[in-house]
Structure 1
Amino acid sequence: MTGRQEPYYVDYDRDFGLSGLTEAFALSPAPENTGAALGLVTEKLDAYDLECLVDSVDHLSADERGILGYDASHDGWGYADDLREDVRALVESPLTDEAIRAVWRAAAGGVWDPAAYGMSARDWLRRVDETCAARPPRKIPGRRPAPSSWWGARPPTADGIRDDVVAEIRSCRERSAGSLPSPDTLSALEEVAARVHPDLGFRLLLRVLKAHSVRIEKARYDRFQALGERFGHPAPLIDFGLDIAWPPLDTARRDATWDFGLSHLAGQAHQDWREDRQEVRKAAEGDDIGQTPGSAAAVLLEDALRLLRSALPDAAVTALWAGASDRSGRTDGRDWLRLIADVCRERLREAAPAYTPVVAPARTELADTVLREVRETASAVTDRIISPHWHPVPVTDVMDALEHVVTRIDPDLGFRLFLRVLNTLFVPLTQEQYDRYEAIGERFGYGEYHVSDVDYLVEAG
């Protein structure tokens, strides 16, 4: 690392600022006095700085750490600066002390009320600010201090996003659930969003809903995720601790952003990867953001059962897996599918015990369309071999197995495995072919980035 140094970026992957602090209070025993409460603030600052440190500099050499200004005695990544930004915004706001107190108490789960110790809400926040100010300032100029900030400054506030946050807070009043926070708390939250900053109002709204264990319907959850994306927040900031009323598992619902099922598992294979329970378990637990828990296991199980219950010969199953994963000669195809099914059932017993696996009828309307694409590629790769130096498998065996899947089992599964085979063989594609694949993926209801896994194969025109 020589010459001019670019700003170093570290993003939080969970809640941060004042809402992150209230989370620490809500998840801890009630402090016995003001000193203990401020001690909890210090613990939170230390924990966040350490988390940023581990994520950010562990991979750097000693020289690189020196260039970045890293000091082992104190990392100085600056979470205190971000907390101060939220705190000072409230202290300097036109909100009444009682409104600030209502928001703090609700977000912190009621475990710490400054009024019980002779302090106003503003006095308490000033003590928090003093605790933050006593720490060394951020050492790395230009670091992105929080997902909602760019180059140390909050992005310009659009009236639209402010209005959307306020609308979400107001809509909470229409719910009849007894677990909702008080109308005064909701009014105070609305003031934070409207008169202080919509980002802070949004994060505190989430903390209040989590602290009160308010169950959120899926439609509202989706709106929260959309708002979080607009603020630049990571999905776990919304997810962690939120009680979501998930819809029942349904393998016909296509809500994964990327690949899924058996084709996704094949895409995880790499040089050190093994066909074992641990790898299957990772895939079975890989629910996408916004998916009902157990979704990944359910679709993977359905793919495995389709092939297990089919008339596809054992050798063809093995060749199919080899072509999709580039892992020839490692395992018997049907034994592998049985292991997959076993692990998926295990995961579903934990995540969705009421779910009964059902293999839905195949969607056959696109069989001819997918078959044309498979045959066009098959004619161009007849002389290719999967793993030519290790249990070689003729590509013709793989393509024949794909044809069987497309015409006799499930065109959807066949097309997803076909895309994986294209990756294995590095088959050059024309833009016209890729456009057709995208159209097929759209008709199957695939996520935004599913087919784009093969866009790097498109030859420059």
Structure 2
Amino acid sequence: MTGRQEPYYLCYEGDFGLSGLAEAFALSPAPENARAALGLVTAKLDAYDRETPVDTFDHLSADQRSILGYDTSHDEWGYADDLRHDVRTLVESQLPDEAIRTVWRVAAGGVWDPAAHGMSARDWLRCVEETCAARPPRKIPGRRPAPFSLWDARPPSADEVRDDVVAEIRSCRERPAGSLPSPDTLSALEEVAVHAHPELAFRLFLRALKACSVRIDKERYDRFQALGDRFGHHGFLIDTGLDVAWPPIDTARRDAVWDFGLSRLAGQAHQDWRGSREDIRRAAEGDDIGQTPGSAAAVLLEDALRLLRSALPDAAVSALWYGASDGPRSGDGRDWLRLIADVCRERLREAVPTYRPVVAPARTELADLVLREVRETASTVADKAVSPHWHPVPATEVMDALEHVVTRIDPDLGFRLFLRVLSALQVSLTQERYDRYQAIGELFGYGEYHVSDVDHLVETG
């Protein structure tokens, strides 16, 4: 890690630092000379500055920023700072100049070779650093702390993770050559990991794989994401531009970290939500990190088809949606479900043209377990209504519809919608009940943060 005090994912969704600069070069026409190349550096820094305006909180005092939740205990790092840190890491290392040149060339997609313009690799990087140093200092108040930690207690030291990065680089040597980075490139990347820093080496390694269009299997992809988590990278840093051999869509596979399907769509509804095709489309395109493209649309379509093909009355379908979403009226009964299904099919035709929807068998063995929780809650909310001041729906109607889903359609879908109804009705939970919900979620194979959507309902004290 650099001298920053917050994980990278708070600042960057994609690539950053020297590897992010190399990406910008790889996606641009080849500069004609060094001046034009440094112009690309300036353009990259300008683009980041536009995305993070420096004066957003300038009018606030340090105390006011603290009240708003912004950490003022340290100076904030900007893109130029991270880029300068990467540059210094390489320039001040014991790496041969040729190794630095080799790594830069492949990461930049061969677009810019400083040696072809009479510059050594270190001279080029020093020019990059000078361009960063010439920019006005940034005055961004500290960003909010992470909503949850991806690290047990602290980011890993270089020694703790170096071997894992080197192992990934070396494993490329064991594969057929094809479009893999050359042996010289792999050796140079390994030297960066050993003699400079493994975090920087990992980002440059990913850039090399992307520049060479190397296809990665899912197992290797998962290892990359695990390494990225340890470094505090955003998942999109690994995803963007990486060619992954995704497994076929399987709606029975529970690989989403958060909620999914119809219950996830319901959770996105709010007062300003229109329930338009565009709203549904955004949900259908919302594949989680590590999911096969099209998975979000496939599970949403499956949920909609289960309800469409059931004997659940239209009025009960509407009550179920309003109870789970606590949002505006988006449509009634099966017309709403048909619109959802239509949008999902449209998304799947684009993402996975060969996919044919197959509704997986329901997990009926867990129906009694879920039903007990629904009935226990139903007895405590009989006098309540969802959105009592907006479009009131009696809680009894919602709970009756939930019971029908659990017992006659799919207890998995019923439980996911039940969790949404708990939030809409603001049902207080004991720690014991919440623990039972977590246990049921584990039986269904839900992701780590799925059930925690209702942890704010747990009584304290």
Q: Structures share a fold, TM > 0.5?
A: yes
Give per-residue Cα distances to partners, 1:375-408, cap 9 Å, x unaligned: 1111222222233344533222211111111111
* Residues 322 and 131 (structure 1), Cα distance of their counterparts in 2 relative to 1, 3 Å cut: closer
Preserved contact between residue 19 and residue 203 of structure 1 (Cα < 8 Å): yes
Mapping of 1:148-227 within 5 angstroms?
Answer: 157-227=157-227
Mapping of 1:119-134 within 5 angstroms?
Answer: 119-134=119-134
- CA distance in 1 between partners of 2:78 and 2:430 (Å): 49
- SS of alignment partner, residue 364 of structure 2: coil
Preserved contact between residue 429 and residue 457 of structure 2 (Cα < 8 Å): yes
- CA distance in 2 between partners of 1:257 and 1:275 (Å): 24
Paired residues, number: 435
* Residues 156 and 437 (structure 1), Cα distance of their counterparts in 2 relative to 1, 3 Å cut: closer
Amino acid at match of 1:196: A
Partner of 1:312: 312
- CA distance in 2 between partners of 1:106 and 1:15 (Å): 16
Give per-residue Cα distances to partners, 1:271-305, cap 9 Å, x unaligned: 12122212111111111111111111110000000
- CA distance in 2 between partners of 1:197 and 1:328 (Å): 52
Preserved contact between residue 13 and residue 234 of structure 1 (Cα < 8 Å): yes
- CA distance in 1 between partners of 2:50 and 2:87 (Å): 21
Mapping of 1:281-360 within 5 angstroms?
Answer: 281-327=281-327, 331-360=331-360
Partner of 1:388: 388
* Residues 29 and 390 (structure 1), Cα distance of their counterparts in 2 relative to 1, 3 Å cut: closer
- CA distance in 2 between partners of 1:39 and 1:390 (Å): 55
Give per-residue Cα distances to partners, 1:235-287, cap 9 Å, x unaligned: 22111111111111110010111111111111111112122212111111111
- CA distance in 1 between partners of 2:32 and 2:319 (Å): 66
Shift of 1:137: 3.9
Preserved contact between residue 77 and residue 139 of structure 1 (Cα < 8 Å): no
- CA distance in 2 between partners of 1:410 and 1:335 (Å): 20
- CA distance in 2 between partners of 1:164 and 1:255 (Å): 24
Partner of 1:23: 23
- CA distance in 2 between partners of 1:48 and 1:330 (Å): 38
Preserved contact between residue 81 and residue 137 of structure 1 (Cα < 8 Å): no
When structure 1 is superposed on structure 2, of 300-309 and 224-233 the one drifting more is 224-233
Shift of 1:158: 3.9
- CA distance in 2 between partners of 1:382 and 1:338 (Å): 30
Answering whether residue 374 of structure 2 is matched by residue 374 of structure 1, we say yes
- CA distance in 2 between partners of 1:345 and 1:197 (Å): 46
Amino acid at match of 2:202: F
- CA distance in 2 between partners of 1:201 and 1:115 (Å): 21
Shift of 1:177: 4.5
Partner of 1:108: 108
Partner of 1:397: 397
Preserved contact between residue 17 and residue 83 of structure 1 (Cα < 8 Å): yes
Amino acid at match of 2:434: Y
* Residues 126 and 143 (structure 1), Cα distance of their counterparts in 2 relative to 1, 3 Å cut: farther
Give per-residue Cα distances to partners, 1:98-123, cap 9 Å, x unaligned: 11111111111111112212222222
* Residues 391 and 23 (structure 1), Cα distance of their counterparts in 2 relative to 1, 3 Å cut: closer
- SS of alignment partner, residue 244 of structure 2: strand
After TM superposition, the score normalised by the length of structure 2 is 0.89
* Residues 395 and 105 (structure 1), Cα distance of their counterparts in 2 relative to 1, 3 Å cut: same
- SS of alignment partner, residue 360 of structure 1: coil
Partner of 1:3: none
- CA distance in 2 between partners of 1:293 and 1:33 (Å): 40
- SS of alignment partner, residue 173 of structure 1: helix
Preserved contact between residue 328 and residue 387 of structure 1 (Cα < 8 Å): no
Shift of 1:411: 0.6
Answering whether residue 405 of structure 2 is matched by residue 423 of structure 1, we say no
CA RMSD of aligned residues (A): 2.5
Shift of 1:134: 2.7
Give per-residue Cα distances to partners, 1:108-147, cap 9 Å, x unaligned: 1111112212222222222222322333344469789xxx
Shift of 1:365: 0.6
Mapping of 1:62-101 within 5 angstroms?
Answer: 62=59, 78-101=78-101
* Residues 362 and 107 (structure 1), Cα distance of their counterparts in 2 relative to 1, 3 Å cut: same
Preserved contact between residue 329 and residue 390 of structure 1 (Cα < 8 Å): no
Mapping of 1:435-454 within 5 angstroms?
Answer: 435-454=435-454
Preserved contact between residue 155 and residue 230 of structure 2 (Cα < 8 Å): no
* Residues 417 and 156 (structure 1), Cα distance of their counterparts in 2 relative to 1, 3 Å cut: closer
- CA distance in 1 between partners of 2:142 and 2:293 (Å): 38
- SS of alignment partner, residue 37 of structure 1: helix
Mapping of 1:209-248 within 5 angstroms?
Answer: 209-248=209-248
Amino acid at match of 1:322: Y
* Residues 188 and 442 (structure 1), Cα distance of their counterparts in 2 relative to 1, 3 Å cut: same
Partner of 1:136: 136
- CA distance in 1 between partners of 2:143 and 2:268 (Å): 33
Shift of 1:322: 1.6
Amino acid at match of 2:234: P
- CA distance in 2 between partners of 1:340 and 1:237 (Å): 31
- SS of alignment partner, residue 365 of structure 1: helix
* Residues 361 and 57 (structure 1), Cα distance of their counterparts in 2 relative to 1, 3 Å cut: farther
Q: Mind listing any 5+ residue stretches in structure 2 that lack a counterpart?
A: 1-5, 66-75, 145-153
Partner of 2:44: 44
Amino acid at match of 1:52: T
- CA distance in 1 between partners of 2:263 and 2:155 (Å): 40
- CA distance in 2 between partners of 1:134 and 1:391 (Å): 58
Give per-residue Cα distances to partners, 1:294-337, cap 9 Å, x unaligned: 11111000000000000111111111112111247653121100
Amino acid at match of 2:215: R
Preserved contact between residue 328 and residue 392 of structure 1 (Cα < 8 Å): no
Amino acid at match of 1:121: A
* Residues 36 and 245 (structure 1), Cα distance of their counterparts in 2 relative to 1, 3 Å cut: same
- SS of alignment partner, residue 216 of structure 2: strand
